[in-house]
Amino acid sequence: MFGDPSAEERLRLARAGDGLAFAELLEPVLDPAFRLAMTMLKDRSAAEDAVQEAAFKSWRKLDRFRYGADIRPWFLAIVANECRTARRSRWGQVLSLDNTSVPEPVAASEGRWAGRIDLESALDRLPKHHLLTLTLYYHLDLPIEEVARVLGCSTGAARQRIHRALGALRPGMLAEVDV
């Protein structure tokens, strides 16, 4: 992201308090941030709130961002942390109780949508740390290096987390197919 001098200049201006420059820095990463929040929180308004709160926190912590670094993994890590905080909060627990429903079994004759519903159901049962890892790598299509930066680990550890998350996902998929 910071290969071009204009991004360096926007960062300098944003650190000096220019809100427009900060908005220009964040604009390209807002869509992936929202998709990550939607995957983690399963609620549109909660996801919007999480991304907005993450943007506010990143504005306050902009002095910690290194010149020359890519803003996407840094901001996505803040979004992921904000989603974790939202899930732990009492209000987040109330919202998740309100949105819970037991899915109906899907008949195999319903075509290609049945596989998608099975996958979504299996993903819903995954522990949140596995869901985050798979979302970053497969849903947001981040390179392994960025996944590692968001997770705060080495690339080898990120690969291992993806492998473990897929291993945790497989039994859920098999159970759905067998039903």
The pLDDT tens digits of the residues spanning 129-144 come to 898 999 898 888 889 9
pLDDT at residue 174, as a whole number: 58
Higher pLDDT, 120 or 55: 55
Boundaries of domain holding 144: 102-179
Q: Are residues 118 and 148 in the same domain?
A: yes
- 24-46 pLDDT per residue, tens: 999 999 999 999 999 889 889 99
Q: Which of 78, 100, 122 is the last residue before a domain boundary?
A: 100
Q: Which of 38, 66, 100 is the last residue before a domain boundary?
A: 100
- Listed range (84-93, 104-113, 164-173) with the worst mean pLDDT: 104-113
pLDDT of residue 128 exceeding 90, the answer is no
**CATH number for 150:** 1.10.10.10
DSSP H helices, the chain, are: 5-15, 19-41, 44-60, 71-88, 90-98, 112-125, 128-134, 144-151, 155-178
pLDDT at residue 172, as a whole number: 66
**CATH number for 91:** 1.10.1740.10
How many angstroms separate the Cα of 24 from the Cα of each of 12, 42, 62, 68, 81?
12, 27, 14, 16, 22
Q: Are residues 66 and 95 in the same domain?
A: yes
